[in-house]
C-alpha cells in the first residue's frame, strides 16, 4: 500500500513538473494563434489551483516544482551547449587533419625530383582517408607530431603593492610551427608560484590537444625544474606540486606519441606574449578596484593563499613570504649559527633586525643581533670574553685597553701589553692567553705554570676526538663532517 502511494505521488509530481515546464515554455513564446492561448490557459489555471492547494496543505509545493522545472531547463541548455561544443571540436579536429594532410602532400610535391614530376606530376595524388584525428593519417600511417608550447608567468611586484598576478599562455602548433590554437587566461592567487603556473599551463595545453583529437605531440618548455620533475630526474617534495605533476602524467598516457624537450627561452614561441598580455590586462583592471578590498597572495614556500596583510616583504628585494614560513626559516638558520637571508631561490639579501621584529621573538632577535655582529667582525679579529658567565663578543679594536694599567697589576715590572677589559662585564683579561687577567705573572710564566687547558676546554677537546670533529685553522670553530667531501671553507 505504501509503495503504491509513493508511486502515485511520484507520478503526480512528474505530471505537475511537466505542466509547469510547458506553461513556462509557452509563456516565453509569442502568441501566434488563439489555440495556443487556449492551450496555455488550462496550465495556468492548474498552476493556480495547485498553488491554492499547496498553501492549504502545508507546503511550498509550487516553489519546489518551479525549482525542478528550472533544473530541467538548465540541464537541457547544458546538454545543448555540450553537443555544440563537441560538434565544434570535431570540426576543428577535421580541419587540423586536413591541414596536416595538405602540408604533408605539399611537402612531398616540393621534394619530388623534376624528372619524376615531369613524368608523373599530373597523376600524383594522395586522397585523405577517414582518419581518427590529426595525429594519424587516413591510411593508418603515423604523421608528424604536433607541437605544444606553454608558459606560466607571474607579475613582478608593483611599488607600494603586494599583489601578484598570475597568467598562463598555451600555443598548439602544427608540425610546421603554424599556430593552430592559442589559450591565454588568468590564474587565481593560490597558484602564483612559478612551478604551479607552469604545470597548470601544461595541463591546459594537454587537455586542449586531447579535445582536438591530437594523438602525437611534442612539448617544449624552458623551465628546467619542471622538466626534471616530469622526466623523473628530480623528486617532487611539495605535496601540491606533486598532485599537479600526477595530473600531467595521467594526461601523457592518452597520447600515442609524447615527448618533452627543454629549450632556451628565446626558442619558446608565442606563449610569452600570450601570458604577458593577460597580466597587463589584470594590472589595468586592478586600477578600477577599490584599494580597501582585501586581497590574497600565495606564499611560494607553503603554497597557501594568505591575506596580503599577513605577508612579509624582505627589505631590498621585495620577495614576499608568509610570517609563519619566515619565522621557521629564520629560526632554523639562527640556531645553526647562520645569519638568515631571503628564502627566495638565488637571492642572497640578508634580513635585518628591525623588519624581523614582526615575526621573531625577543630571544631570537637577540641571537640574530649576535649573529650580525659575528658576521661583521673578521675571523682573525674576533675576541670573546674568557669569563664563563659573560662570553661577550668583541673585536680587537673594541676590547678596551685600560687607562691605568698599574691598577690591575701589583707588580710594576709585569708586562701589561695584553691587558684588555671586556666591553660588557668590564672584567680584565689577557688577550694573548685568552684567559682572565693574570696580575701576578707574565704571559710566559702563566703558560709555563698552566700547560694544560682549562677543564671545560679539555672536555671539549675530548668530545671532539670522540666525535671526530676538526677545528678550523682560521676561526678555531669546531666542525663536524655530516656528508659530502672533506673540503672545508670557513
The answer to whether 431 and 383 are in contact (CB under 8 A) is yes
Greater model confidence, 323 or 219: 219
- Establish if 488 belongs to a structural domain: no
**Could you say which DSSP state residue 469 is in?**
-
pLDDT digits (tens, 9 = 90+) for 341-355: 888 887 888 888 888
| Residues 415, 427 share a domain | yes
pLDDT at site 345: 80
| Residues 321, 267 share a domain | no
| Cβ-proximal residues to 478 (8 Å cutoff; 6+ apart), any chain | 460, 464, 469, 470, 471, 472
- Domain range for residue 269? 146-285
pTM over 0.75: no
- Establish if 32 belongs to a structural domain: no
pLDDT at site 142: 55
Which of 165, 147, 149 minimizes the C-alpha distance to 157?
165
Of 343, 375, 407, the domain-final residue:
375
| Residues 316, 434 share a domain | no
Q: Residue 363: is its pLDDT beyond 60?
A: yes
Provide the terminal-to-terminal Cα distance of the chain, rounded to the nearest Å. Answer: 90
Helix axes 2-28, 61-111, angle to 10 degrees: 70
Is 430 among the residues known to form the active site? Answer: no
| Residues 207, 176 share a domain | yes
Q: Residue 139: is its pLDDT beyond 50?
A: no
Q: For the chain, what percent of residues have pLDDT higher than 70?
A: 76
Of 375, 397, 429, the domain-final residue:
375
- Establish if 278 belongs to a structural domain: yes
- Establish if 462 belongs to a structural domain: no
pLDDT at site 33: 42
| Residues 389, 326 share a domain | no
Q: What is the CATH number of the domain that holds 256?
A: 3.30.420.10
| Residues 218, 232 share a domain | yes
Phi/psi at 432 (5° precision): -80, -45
| Residues 136, 152 share a domain | no
Which of 466, 430, 472 minimizes the C-alpha distance to 447?
430
pLDDT digits (tens, 9 = 90+) for 444-467: 888 777 776 677 777 877 888 888
Full DSSP string of 143-169: PPPEEEEEEEEEPPPPTT-----EEEE
- Establish if 469 belongs to a structural domain: no
pLDDT at site 86: 78
Which of 38, 51, 53, 43 minimizes the C-alpha distance to 21?
43
Give me the number of domains the chain comprises: 4
pLDDT at site 56: 44
Greater model confidence, 328 or 16: 328
| Residues 281, 152 share a domain | yes
Of 93, 111, 143, the domain-final residue:
143
pLDDT at site 136: 52
| Residues 226, 132 share a domain | no
Question: Which residue out of 347, 385, 485, 490 is catalytically annotated?
Answer: 485
| Residues 251, 233 share a domain | yes
| Residues 326, 275 share a domain | no
| Residues 275, 150 share a domain | yes
Q: What is the CATH number of the domain that holds 345?
A: 3.30.40.10
Q: Within its chain, how far is the Cα of 438 from the centroid?
A: 61
- Establish if 69 belongs to a structural domain: yes
Average pLDDT of the residues of the chain: 77
- Establish if 479 belongs to a structural domain: no
Q: Within its chain, how far is the Cα of 350 from the centroid?
A: 23
pLDDT at site 31: 45
- Establish if 489 belongs to a structural domain: no
Please report which confidence band the pLDDT of residue 54 belongs to, taking 50, 70 and 90 as the band edges.
very low
Which of 171, 178, 172 minimizes the C-alpha distance to 106?
178
Amino acid at each position: 500500500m505504501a509503495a503504491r502511494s509513493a508511486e502515485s505521488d511520484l507520478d503526480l509530481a512528474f505530471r505537475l513538473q511537466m505542466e509547469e515546464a510547458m506553461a513556462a515554455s509557452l509563456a516565453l513564446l509569442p502568441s501566434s494563434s488563439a489555440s495556443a492561448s487556449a492551450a496555455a490557459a488550462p496550465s495556468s489555471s492548474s498552476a493556480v489551483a495547485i498553488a491554492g492547494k499547496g498553501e492549504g496543505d502545508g507546503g511550498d509545493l509550487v516553489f519546489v516544482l518551479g525549482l525542478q522545472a528550472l533544473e530541467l531547463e538548465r540541464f537541457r541548455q547544458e546538454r545543448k551547449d555540450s553537443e555544440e561544443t563537441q560538434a565544434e571540436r570535431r570540426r576543428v579536429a577535421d580541419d587540423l587533419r586536413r591541414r596536416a594532410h595538405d602540408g604533408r602532400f605539399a611537402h612531398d610535391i616540393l621534394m619530388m625530383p623534376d624528372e619524376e614530376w615531369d613524368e608523373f606530376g599530373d597523376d600524383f595524388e594522395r586522397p585523405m582517408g577517414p582518419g581518427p584525428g590529426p595525429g594519424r593519417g587516413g591510411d593508418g600511417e603515423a604523421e608528424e607530431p604536433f607541437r605544444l608550447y606553454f608558459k606560466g608567468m607571474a607579475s613582478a611586484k608593483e611599488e607600494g603593492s603586494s599583489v601578484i598576478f598570475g597568467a598562463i599562455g598555451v600555443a598548439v602548433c602544427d608540425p610546421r610551427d603554424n599556430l593552430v590554437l592559442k589559450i591565454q587566461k588568468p590564474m587565481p592567487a593560490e597558484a602564483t608560484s612559478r612551478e604551479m603556473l607552469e604545470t597548470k599551463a601544461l595541463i591546459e595545453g594537454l587537455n586542449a590537444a586531447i579535445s582536438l583529437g591530437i594523438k602525437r605531440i611534442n612539448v617544449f618548455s624552458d623551465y628546467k625544474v619542471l622538466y626534471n620533475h616530469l622526466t623523473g630526474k628530480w623528486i617532487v617534495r611539495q605535496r601540491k606540486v606533486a598532485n599537479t605533476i600526477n595530473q600531467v602524467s595521467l594526461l601523457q598516457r592518452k597520447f600515442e606519441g609524447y615527448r618533452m624537450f627543454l629549450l632556451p627561452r628565446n626558442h619558446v614561441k608565442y606563449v610569452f606574449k600570450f601570458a604577458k598580455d593577460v597580466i597587463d590586462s589584470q594590472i589595468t583592471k586592478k586600477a578600477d578596484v577599490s584599494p580597501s578590498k582585501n586581497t590574497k597572495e600565495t606564499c611560494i614556500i607553503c603554497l597557501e593563499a594568505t591575506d596580503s596583510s599577513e605577508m612579509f616583504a624582505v627589505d631590498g628585494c621585495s620577495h614576499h613570504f608568509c610570517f609563519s614560513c619566515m619565522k621557521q626559516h629564520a629560526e632554523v638558520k639562527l640556531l645553526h649559527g647562520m645569519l638568515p637571508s631571503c628564502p627566495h631561490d638565488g637571492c642572497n639579501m640578508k634580513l635585518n633586525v628591525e623588519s624581523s621584529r614582526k615575526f621573531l621573538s625577543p630571544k631570537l632577535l637577540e641571537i640574530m643581533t649576535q649573529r650580525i655582529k659575528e658576521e661583521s667582525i673578521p675571523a682573525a679579529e674576533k675576541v670573546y670574553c674568557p669569563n664563563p658567565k659573560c662570553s661577550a663578543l668583541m673585536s680587537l679594536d673594541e676590547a678596551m685597553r685600560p687607562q691605568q694599567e698599574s691598577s690591575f697589576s701589583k707588580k710594576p715590572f709585569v708586562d701589561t701589553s695584553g691587558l684588555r677589559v671586556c666591553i660588557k662585564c668590564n672584567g680584565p683579561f689577557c688577550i694573548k692567553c685568552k684567559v682572565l687577567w693574570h696580575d701576578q705573572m707574565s704571559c710566559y710564566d702563566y703558560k709555563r705554570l698552566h700547560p694544560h687547558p682549562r677543564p671545560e676546554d679539555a672536555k671539549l677537546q675530548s668530545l671532539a676526538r670522540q666525535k671526530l670533529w676538526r677545528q678550523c685553522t682560521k676561526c678555531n670553530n669546531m666542525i663536524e663532517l655530516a656528508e659530502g667531501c672533506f673540503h672545508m671553507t670557513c
